[in-house]
Structures are given as structure tokens and as C-alpha cells.
Structure 1
């Protein structure tokens, strides 16, 4: 009887450890899985990424508006250079945002983004965007940040999108969590470039 009870207890313990291990693994996997889900479905207004423009253009037009925000922990000014653009579905659009570091120190920003209405996310494709990488601005530096995009012509075939005539593309810049590491890497790269540069030699 005691042996049976011990075996049962061991089985219970093994099962509990398995459940705990599975929960830990799920917690680590949940973020990338959620991000993948958003990218595939456009959930929450998550936009898509494309390597090239659309293969076709249809006559239906949509107006794309631009919005910009900055978290108060990042000492930047950030604004769109244009209020809106109108383009046909499948037509590549070009826009620009302007960012300025208003502090006296180098800072690193990273942008989050989405579109509204949320259901337009799966049709909004970005070909080129400053949001794909972290941005480093030196003290007082101002830069133009381009965005190349298109709205998938397949949107014209979706009955749920018949009421969508305007899409708003929004960005919010935050201070990068790994800002110190990014700045240190940039300093090291600059130092290596300076050492590799040929030194001038004096001639008589």
C-alpha cells in the first residue's frame, strides 16, 4: 500500500512540474506569438511589412492621415511633414516625419505604430519605415524620417472595408530600453572608424 502511495505521489509531483514548466514556456512564447498573430491578422491596427510595392493598382482611393506622439520620457519633438495624402489602392505613397532631439545629450528612440480603423491593419503595408530600427539623435539634431507604404488593393474586395475611406497612421516614440547599449556600440564603431582612417603625413 505504501509503495502504491509513493508511486502515486511521484506521478502527481511529475505532473505538477510538467504543468509549471509548460506555463513558464508559454509565458516566454506568448509575446512573440502575440506579435506574429498581430502581424498576420492586423489585430489592433498592426500594419504589415512588404519588400516591394503592390503588383496592381485599382481605381478606388483612400485618404491616409498621419499622426505623431512622443512619450514624455523622450526629449524629442516629433511631427508629420504632411497632414494627409490621397492615393489609389496599390499605389505606393511616400510620407515623412521630422524628429528633433531637444536635449543636450545623445538619445535613442524607438517607435510603436498602428493604423485606425483597426480592421485596416491587415491591408496597410510599409515598404520602408524608420520604425524598423532604433533611431539615434545627437544633441539638437533634427532629421527627416521617410515612410514608403501602400494599401493592399485586396481591400476593395472585402465587404467589411466598404465604409473605409480614411486610414490614420500613428506613431509614438519612446526612449529605447537599451539606449545605453546602442550609444556604447555607436561610440565603439566611431572609434574603430577613426582608427582605420589613414593619417595625414607631412611633406617637406
Structure 2
């Protein structure tokens, strides 16, 4: 006995809707996985969000016009470091390759580790701020009291003067922030008790925890 045509039609419609919904969900998941690398690539190409450019060659053109680059330093997440630029600013010609340095000192009594992120302001200038050498996104470990000079080699792309919004720009600020990273957690051992034995209980100190 044949089934109800209307019932069969509704079942077919339900199957089509279910298949379409599954395809849509699968597509959204794929787009989500692709979004992160695509966004990172977009930032590198456009300088969006103050993302600077990483290059391996120096500028082949230097303009007579000068620009001042200021340097900012921050620490976050409880990282016990004294972090600062060796010099607060530098004035150079646009296109001229310049080297400066930041210094970090571990002020804690155990080894600690950090990783730096960065940005440039104004954000639109990020696409024209080219770094040849940088310590950003590199794990850095410091022993108790240890200090480290970290160089940054960069230049400002001469094409910046062709951008209407940046044509009269006089100052760029390069800012770094160091965050703590997972490392060997320092352990403080309790002093020996009256019986001369060391207490087996230990206290773990997590940086930024």
C-alpha cells in the first residue's frame, strides 16, 4: 500500500533541511579553523592593529625627512622583571636602518621566563614599521638578578609618506609587553625542624598565578 504523498514529501523536505544544516555547520567549523592564520596573515600584510612587518633586507631608499620613534616597555601577569628601553626615543631619517635595545632584569630570587608581544601606534603605521631583528614572541629565561640586553633593528618604510593619513606623521611609538610563560616552578623548601630533619612539605610559587 502506497504511503501518503504529503507525508513522503515532508520527510524528503526534512532530509534536505538536515543535510543543509550539517553542511552549514561543517563549513562554519572549517572557517573557524582558517580564521586564525588568515587573520594573522592579514595583520602582517596590512599592519592592522599596529602589527609591524618582519623583513630580512634593509631599505634601499633613505629620505631626507626625519621621524622620531619612541619606545615603551611594560610587564604583565605578575612577571617580576624590570623591563625598559635603553633609550626612550630616537630620531632618524625615514628608510634609515637603526638599532636600539631593551633591557630586562629578573628581580626575583628564582629563574623566571617571559615572552614579549608588541604593537605600534598609530596603528596604521604598523604596515610601514619594518623590523629586521626582534626579540618578540621568543621565550626568554633569566636567572635570579640576571640582566639581558635585547636588540631591535628596524626602519620606517619610505612609502609611509605616500599615505595621506600618515604623510605628516612626526612620531611613532613602539611598545613591548612581557608576559610570564610556563616554566619550571620555583619551590621553596621549609627549614629543618627541631629534630634536624627537613620538612617534607614544600611550597610552590607560580609566577603570575
Contact 1:91 1:151 in 2 (8 A): yes
Output the TM-score relative to the length of structure 2: 0.80
Larger radius of gyration: 2
Structure 2, unmatched stretches of 5+, are: 186-209
Q: Which runs of 4+ in 1 moved over 6 A?
A: none
Report the equivalent of 1:166: 171
Structure 1, unmatched stretches of 5+, are: 185-204
Distance 1:63 1:44 in 2: 20
Contact 1:129 1:148 in 2 (8 A): yes
Shift, 1:50, TM fit: 0.6
| Cα deviation digits, residues 99-131 of structure 1 (max 9, x gap) | 112223322211111111111111000000010
How do 1:53-202 residues align onto structure 2 when only pairs under 5 Å count?
53-176=58-181, 179-180=182-183
The answer to whether the aligner puts 1:39 opposite 2:44 as a matched pair is: yes
Distance 1:104 1:6 in 2: 71
Distance 1:30 1:45 in 2: 19
Distance 1:134 1:52 in 2: 24
Distance 1:104 1:20 in 2: 51
Output the TM-score relative to the length of structure 1: 0.82
Higher helix share: 1
Structure 1 vs Structure 2 CA RMSD? 1.7
Distance 1:15 1:117 in 2: 45
Distance 1:119 1:126 in 2: 16
Shift, 1:137, TM fit: 1.7
Q: Secondary structure at the match of 2:178?
A: strand
Q: Secondary structure at the match of 2:58?
A: coil
| Cα deviation digits, residues 60-93 of structure 1 (max 9, x gap) | 1100110000003212110000011111111001
Residues matched between the structures, number:
180
Q: Secondary structure at the match of 1:133?
A: coil
Q: Secondary structure at the match of 1:10?
A: helix
